[in-house]
Amino acid sequence: MPDRIYNFSPGPATLPQEVLAQAAKDIVNYNNIGIGLIELSHRSKAFMEVAQEAESLIRELMSIPENYKILFLQGGASTQFAMVPLNLLAPDKKGTYLNTGTWAKKAIKEASIVAKAQVAYSSEDSSFDHVPSDGDYTVDDDSEYLYFVSNNTIYGTQFAQFPKSDKMLVSDMSSDILSRPFDISPFGLVFAGAQKNMGPAGVTVVIIRDDLLDRAPENLPTMFRYKTHADKGSMFNTPPCFAIYVVGLVAKWLKKQGGVQAIEKINREKAALLYDMIDSTEFYKGHARKDSRSLMNVTFNLPTPELEAKFIKEASENGLDGLKGHRSIGGCRASIYNAFPKQGVVDLVDFMKEFERKNG
């Protein structure tokens, strides 16, 4: 087995090798100061510089203006499912949701506990194989925001263009943040668990427009208020120091690649290789409709579950790991986030051709 296999896992996902090498060094002796990164006080000058640099790089890469706060929080994207309505909706107010997969359903469930959730669209009847166009749904006039998941890891769908609405947008971008440029101005809030495209598990990045920080009701506990964390620069309590540090390293790496515009071009090339392979044969069948295909997670099936199991097993034996589809839909899934090397996609396509030749 080689030192490095190709990791197609949906998350925690592959990281740039140079980032891993630097992190391995700094975890023992950070910046040659004599202690490891994970031993640093979060209030030390050294770590404050780490956090500030990570924030600055994210702001630069995503062109985020100063009227948005960038927060490094804990609890994963799943905590944000509740924090968003808790902070932005009074109990008698409403948020509008687009149900395009498992994570949207979970967010709808949490919002319905604390406020009102209008489900304006659902693709559940077609096994979440597509996302809607703007004309496919209506947002109620009394809704405070339109919530959507930009990329659906399980089903391999993605909004090629973000929704347009008179209401502010809120989005879970956990699996495609930093993969393509977009205009932040229609958004009130964006959040992303880091472990797919930004760094390791443990930190969730929240980008929130600063006028929304005072919306939380008086009876909301301190830790669940965005303002608590914004006022303290994400240092109200001990933050996930190591995860923040690696997010900064990944952002540095991305800047070296040419930034978000450059990585989008590479992402499109990688995805095209796989989709062209799938479309060239009857042996492989993509799950997502062509107009909703994800650049990050390519989902597909083989003629039988038995062949899928054999494909996954033999691929793993050939250094192509993590290709098993989510348990809810089965099949196969290749997750090819920013840090996933193009050569890994080339090797997978070659393996797919050979597997079809032997088993087709």
Q: Are residues 185 and 47 in the same domain?
A: yes
Q: Are residues 199 and 295 in the same domain?
A: no
Q: Are residues 295 and 336 in the same domain?
A: yes
Last residue of one domain, picked from the residues 235, 256, 277: 256
Per-residue model confidence (pLDDT) at position 327: 86
Average pLDDT of the chain, as a whole number = 96
User: Has this prediction a pTM greater than 0.85?
Assistant: yes
Last residue of one domain, picked from the residues 206, 236, 256: 256
Q: Are residues 135 and 269 in the same domain?
A: no
Q: What percent of the chain has pLDDT over 90?
A: 96
Tell me what the mean pLDDT of segment 342-351 comes to.
Answer: 98
Domain range enclosing 175: 18-256
pLDDT class for 1, splitting at 50, 70, 90?
Answer: very low
- In tens, the pLDDT along 127-185 reads 999 999 999 999 999 999 999 999 999 999 999 999 999 999 999 999 999 999 999 99
Residue 2 within any structural domain of the chain: no
Q: Compute the half-sphere exposure of residue 152: CA atoms within 13 Å on the CB side of its CA.
A: 33
Q: Which residues are known to be catalytic?
A: 103, 172, 196
- In tens, the pLDDT along 231-272 reads 999 999 999 999 999 999 999 999 999 999 999 999 999 999
Tell me what the mean pLDDT of segment 83-88 comes to.
Answer: 98
- In tens, the pLDDT along 181-238 reads 999 999 999 999 999 999 999 999 999 999 999 999 999 999 999 999 999 999 999 9
Q: Are residues 330 and 186 in the same domain?
A: no
Cα gap 355→81, rounded to integer Å: 41
Omega of the bond prior to 163 within 30 degrees of 0, cis? no
79: tokens are: 């905590």
Q: Is the pLDDT of residue 92 over 90?
A: no
Q: Please report, for the domain that includes residue 308, its CATH number.
A: 3.90.1150.10
Residue 105 within any structural domain of the chain: yes
Residue 68 within any structural domain of the chain: yes
Among 135, 134, 127, CA closest to 161: 134
Residues contacting residue 111 through CB under 8 Å, at least 6 positions apart: 81, 82, 84, 85, 89, 95, 97, 117, 147
- In tens, the pLDDT along 164-175 reads 999 999 999 999
Q: Are residues 181 and 206 in the same domain?
A: yes
Residue 12 within any structural domain of the chain: no
Q: Are residues 88 and 198 in the same domain?
A: yes
Last residue of one domain, picked from the residues 209, 237, 256: 256
96 close to 139: Cβ distance less than 8 angstroms: yes
How many domains does one find in the chain? 2
Tell me what the mean pLDDT of segment 277-290 comes to.
Answer: 97
Per-residue model confidence (pLDDT) at position 265: 98
Kindly state the DSSP code that residue 97 receives in the 8-state scheme: E
Per-residue model confidence (pLDDT) at position 344: 98
Q: Are residues 231 and 355 in the same domain?
A: no
**Which residue shows structure tokens 């090819």?**
336
CA 338 to chain centre: 11
- In tens, the pLDDT along 290-334 reads 999 999 999 999 999 999 999 999 999 999 999 999 988 889 999
Q: Are residues 41 and 91 in the same domain?
A: yes
